[in-house]
Structure 1
Amino acid sequence: MSYNMKPSIFFLGATGYLGSEFLILLARDFPGLQVKALVRNATPEKVAQLEKIYPGITVVEGTLEDDAVIQEQAQSVDVVINTASSDHSPSVKSTLAGLNKSAAARPGNPPLYIHISGCGIISDDARGEDVDHATIPVVSDIGLDLKKCPPTNTHLDSDIPIVEAGTRKENPIRSIIIFPAQIYGVGSGIQKNTLWLRFFTDFAKKLGYVGTWGKGYNSMNNLHVKDCANAILLVFKAALEGRAEEGAEGLYFAATDAPRIPYREWTKVMGDHLHAQGLIEHPGTRPMPDEVVEPLGHYGWSLLGGNQFAKPERLARLGWIPTETLRQPLLEALPAAVDEAWKSL
C-alpha cells in the first residue's frame, strides 16, 4: 500500500471552532496541498478568512445536506477530514458513498477518512446526579468496541458505519475516528468558541443565571482546543507515514489527565463571572428548568448530564503531549472564553 505525503484533501468544518484551529496547523506543517473546503453560505468574508489561514484553499459551496456535492468531492481526493458535526449521519453517509467509489477505483490504495466524533459515546447518562466515581468505568480506546457502547448514546449512528467501511474486505477505506473530550479555550481560528459553551451562554442570557442539566455533578475529561487540533495533526501525520492504527483499531480518545471538573463547579465559575460584570441577574449555578433541558431530550441528558471517563492510550503511543491544557487548565481559561461567547450572542 502506498502513502501519499502530499495528499489532496476534502475538508468539512474548516470554518468551525476545531476545524479552523486544525487548518492553522495544517498550513504550518503542510503548506501547498490541494485542500477543498465545504462552506455553507460562502460569503467573500468567509472565503477571505479561509484563504488567509490556508493560501490556495478551494471553497466548495454547500451544506451537510448536499449529498451529491459531498459524494463528488469525497470521491475525488486522497483524504477526507470531517470536523463539522459528530451527529450529522446523512453527511457521513454521503462521505462514505463517495469514498466507496474512490476505494473501488483505486484498489490497493484506499482513501483515508479522519472523522471527529466525541466522548459522548461512553456517557453513563447519570442525569447530573451524584454518582460514586468508583462505579463509573474508565474506558480505554484500546479494545474499544463501539457496538458495546450504550446504543442510545450520541455519535454512534455516524461512527459505526465508518468503522464498518474501514474493516470490510471488499474495497475498504482507511478509517480513523477521534473522540475529543470536553474541548475548551478561546480558539485562534475563525470560530472562537466551542458549541457547548455557546449553548450555556445563550441559556444564561435568557434565564438570568447559568445552569446545569440536573444537579450538575457529572463530569468528563477535558482538553484545550489547541491540544485537540494538535492531536488531529499528529494522527494525520502518522496516517501519511503508515504508522497510525486504523479501522477497528483506529479509534482515538483525545483527552487528558487534567482534573475532571463537575458541571456544577465550572458553571458556578461562569455564573459568578457573568454576574460580576452585571450581565446576568444571579451568581453561581442551579439546575435549569424542564422547558430548557427537555427540548434536547435524551441527546442533551446523555451529552450534557452524563459522566464520560476516557483513557487516551492510542495518542500516548504516538507521543502526544497536551501542553496547552497543562498551561491553561479549564477553570483558568474559562472566563476569557465566556467573554468571547457572550460577545458572539
Structure 2
Amino acid sequence: MSTQTIFFLGATGYLGSEFLILLNRRIPELHVVALLRSPTPERQSRLKEIYPNISFVEGALEDDAIIQREVAKANIVINCASSDHLASVKSTLAGLETNSQNNPGKPPLYIHVSGCGIISDNARGEPVEHVKEWSDIGLDLKQCDQTNTHLDSDIPIVEAGSRKENPVRTIIVYPAQIYGVGEGVQKTTLWLRIFLDMTKKLGFAGTWGPGANSMNNIHIKDCAMALFMVLDAALQGKAEEGPEGIYFASTMAPKLSYHDWTEIMGNYLHSKGIISQPGTRPMPNEVVEPLGHYGWSLLGGNQFSKPERLARLGWEPVETRKLSLADSFPAALDAALEA
C-alpha cells in the first residue's frame, strides 16, 4: 500500500480537502498527486498542512494531456472537483484505459464524486404527494430521467467499469445536500455560497418555484467519511464496483424543503442587516431562467435517496446526528460571509 499513488482532482475544494484531512489520519502512507490550477507557495503550504504526503501538478480540468498523463501513472484516481465537467471525465477515462493497457492484471481504481441530481423528479418546486425514494442497490443510471444532471459524465464511467478489455475499477459516490462548516481549505458548501450570492444581489432569499421540493442531507464530515470508507473497502477488495459501484452518500435525517431552509437563511441574513427583507419567496424569472432546465432539475426537484450500500460497509452518519441542517446555518453563513 505504501507504494500506491492517488491522482487527486479537487484537493482544495469543500469535500476534497475535508477528505484529505481524514485520509491523513487513516492512511497517510498513500502518496497524493494533486492537480492544482494555481500552485502558489501559499496554496501548496496549506495543502501540505492537511496532507503532508502530497505533491503537485500544475493544471486545470481543461488540460487533457496533463490529466491523461497523470492518470496513466496512478494506481488510484479520485475526482472531487466537478461532477459535470465532461471534458475532464473523458480525459480521465482515456488515461485509465492507457493505465490498464500498460498494467495487465492490475486495473486502476477510479472514484468519482457526482451528486443526487441524477434522481430529480423535476417537480419545479411544486408539492408532490408521493415522491419516489431511490435505493443505490439495483440502480441503473439509464433508468433515471436522462435530462437530469451528472448522467452525461456518470454513464460513461459505469460503462468503463463494465468492460472486459483494458478493465477499470469504477465507483461513483452520490452526495446528497452536504452542509456544515468544514476544516479544510474551502469551509462552506457550494450551494450555500451560490444562494448567498443570489440573496445578497436580490435583497431577499428565494427558491426555484414555491420551493416545496427537498432532498436528503449529510454533514460534510460524514460525507468525507463515506468517501473514505468506500476507498478503504476498495483497497481491501471489498467494495462493490462497476455497475454495482454506485453509493448514495446521504442520511435519513429529516429533510428540509427549499422553502424552509431559504426562510432560515433569509431571516438570519435580515437579522444581521445584510438583506432588506426577511423570509423567502420564489425568485424572479430573470434569475432562474438563465440556468434553464439544469437549474430547475437540480434546484427545483425532489431527490430522495437511501444509502444502502454504505450501510453494508458499516457507515453511520455520526456528525449529522449531532448537528442538523437547520441548526447549521448560522455558523455556515458566518463562515461564508467572512470568506
Is contact 1:120-1:155 (8 Å) kept?
Answer: yes
- Taking the aligned partners of 1:171 and 1:120, their CA distance within structure 2 comes to 30
Secondary structure of the residue aligned to 2:161 is helix
- Taking the aligned partners of 2:57 and 2:294, their CA distance within structure 1 comes to 31
Residues 99-145 of structure 1 deviation map (CA, whole Å, 9 limit, x = unaligned): 1001111121100000000000000010101111x2x2111000000
Is contact 1:5-1:241 (8 Å) kept?
Answer: no
- Taking the aligned partners of 1:233 and 1:131, their CA distance within structure 2 comes to 35
CA deviation after TM superposition for structure 1 residue 5, in Å:
6.4
CA deviation after TM superposition for structure 1 residue 278, in Å:
0.7
Match of residue 51 from structure 1: 48
Match of residue 277 from structure 2: 282
Match of residue 87 from structure 2: 90
2:154 is equivalent to residue 159 of structure 1: yes
Secondary structure of the residue aligned to 1:167 is coil
Is contact 2:28-2:53 (8 Å) kept?
Answer: no
2:249 is equivalent to residue 292 of structure 1: no
CA deviation after TM superposition for structure 1 residue 331, in Å:
0.4
Give the alignment partner of residue 234 of structure 2, picking from 220, 231, 239: 239
Identity of aligned residues (%): 65
2:263 is equivalent to residue 268 of structure 1: yes
CA deviation after TM superposition for structure 1 residue 32, in Å:
3.0
Residues 81-114 of structure 1 deviation map (CA, whole Å, 9 limit, x = unaligned): 0000000010000001001001111121100000
- Taking the aligned partners of 2:287 and 2:336, their CA distance within structure 1 comes to 19
- Taking the aligned partners of 2:189 and 2:316, their CA distance within structure 1 comes to 21
Match of residue 245 from structure 2: 250
Residues 280-307 of structure 1 deviation map (CA, whole Å, 9 limit, x = unaligned): 1000001111111111111111011100
- Runs of 4+ in structure 1 deviating by more than 4 angstroms, as ranges, are none
Match of residue 300 from structure 2: 305
- Taking the aligned partners of 1:5 and 1:233, their CA distance within structure 2 comes to 17
- Taking the aligned partners of 2:37 and 2:147, their CA distance within structure 1 comes to 29
Residues 233-264 of structure 1 deviation map (CA, whole Å, 9 limit, x = unaligned): 00000000000000000000000000110000
Match of residue 24 from structure 2: 27
Match of residue 75 from structure 2: 78
Residues 187-230 of structure 1 deviation map (CA, whole Å, 9 limit, x = unaligned): 11000111111010000110001111110000000000000000
Secondary structure of the residue aligned to 2:206 is strand
CA deviation after TM superposition for structure 1 residue 6, in Å:
4.9
2:323 is equivalent to residue 328 of structure 1: yes
AA aligned to 1:188 is E
- Taking the aligned partners of 2:53 and 2:145, their CA distance within structure 1 comes to 43
Match of residue 12 from structure 2: 15
Match of residue 37 from structure 1: 34
AA aligned to 2:62 is E
- Taking the aligned partners of 2:143 and 2:64, their CA distance within structure 1 comes to 30
Gaps of 5+ in 1: none
Residues 132-174 of structure 1 deviation map (CA, whole Å, 9 limit, x = unaligned): 1x2x211100000001100010000110000000001111100
TM-score by length of 2: 0.99
Residues 16-65 of structure 1 deviation map (CA, whole Å, 9 limit, x = unaligned): 00000000011111113221000111111111111111113101111000
Secondary structure of the residue aligned to 1:325 is helix
- Taking the aligned partners of 1:277 and 1:323, their CA distance within structure 2 comes to 31
Is contact 1:5-1:240 (8 Å) kept?
Answer: no
- How many residues were matched structurally? 339
Give the alignment partner of residue 61 of structure 2, picking from 53, 59, 64: 64
Match of residue 108 from structure 1: 105
CA RMSD, Structure 1 to Structure 2 (Å):
0.9
AA aligned to 1:295 is P
TM-score by length of 1: 0.97
